[in-house]
Structure 1
Amino acid sequence: MEIGEFSQKVNLSIDTLRYYEKVGFLKPKRTLGNHRVYDEHDLKWVAFLKRLKQTGMPIREIKRYSELRSQGSSTIDERLSLLKIQEERLQQQAQQTQDYLDFIHHKMAVYQQMKTAESPDNGH
């Protein structure tokens, strides 16, 4: 498929796809007329890139991951290492979010106790 159709399928602008190609994330095949041609592998790869981006992985690490991927299976350990680093970041963020939730829940419980104590019908 050509860039316009591919852009719609992956929900990214043509400019973004060209940028992805420029930085090495994508390497579409070319027609004899030098038009970009994308296939199912490109669809899956862009979906994966978007997921990495959604996890908050820094662009430089996504770029490194992409470079390693293009080098083949000999780089699996390095790719696993990048994913492990991102996993640790996400676990830290999850813990921080849980700490925030615990704080909010504590404050809500305090207010519930205050409301109960001030209730005109507090058990009489």
Structure 2
Amino acid sequence: MSPQYSPGEAADLTGLSLDTLRYYEREELIGPIERLAGGRRVFSEGDLAWIGVVTCLRDAGLGIAEVQRFTALLRTTGDPASRVEFLRERRVALVEHMARMDAALGVLDDKIAYYAAKS
């Protein structure tokens, strides 16, 4: 039998709060999560891996609706091309965002150097 984790353990292992895990499940970004007799949720290794993907997508700037769309693509279509297209579009947006952040970092570094030289 593969390992099972309580919600608290899953929260600790993923770095997310219990409220976030419940929210992600309610919004169908993760799950369905297995429930034991009495309704207690248990997370599998696969659940934790998928939570890692969702966390990565969120860190990449995808909103809840976009992650829901990607999750729906996984559930409703066997066509990997639609998933690849979705991810490529998000990758382009992320690269553009990173370029803007890199430029902003350069401005901050210049200002730090300028004001540090004056002190």
Scaled by the length of structure 1, what TM-score is found?
Answer: 0.73
SS at match of 1:37: strand
**SS of match in other structure, 1:38:** strand
RMSD: 2.3
The 1:80–1:3 alpha-carbon spacing in structure 2 relative to 1, beyond 3 Å, is: same
Matched, 1:16 2:13: no
Q: Which residue of 1 aligns with 2:76?
A: 71
Judge conservation of contact 1:65–1:82 (CA < 8 Å) in 2. yes
Letter in 1 for 2:100: Q
Gaps of 5+ in 2: 115-119
2:91 to 65, 87, 104: 87
Structure of greater Rg:
1
Counterpart residue identity of residue 59, structure 1: I
* Mapped contact 1:61–1:82 kept (Cα < 8 A): no
Residue type matched to 2:89 in 1?
I
C-alpha distance in 2 between matches for 1:23 and 1:101? 35
Aligned counterpart in structure 1 of residue 37 of structure 2, from 20, 32, 35: 32
Paired with 1:29 and 1:103, the residues of 2 have a C-alpha distance of 49
- Contact 1:29-1:36 at 8 Å conserved across structures: yes
**Percent of matched pairs sharing the same residue:** 28
| C-alpha distance in structure 1 between counterparts of 2:88 and 2:80, whole Å | 12
Shift of 1:101: 6.1
Letter in 2 for 1:28: I
Structure 1 spans left out of the alignment, 5+ residues: 112-124
Residues 100, 5 of structure 1: alpha-carbon distance in 2 compared, 3 angstrom cutoff = closer
SS of 1:56's partner is: coil
- How far apart are 1:71 and its partner, in Å? 3.3
Change (3 A) 1:30 1:89: same
Alignment TM-score, normalising by the size of structure 2: 0.75
Q: Distance in 2 between matches of 1:16 and 1:95?
A: 30
The 3 A distance-change label for structure 1 pair 67 and 101 is same
The alpha carbon displacement at 1:99 in A equals 4.6
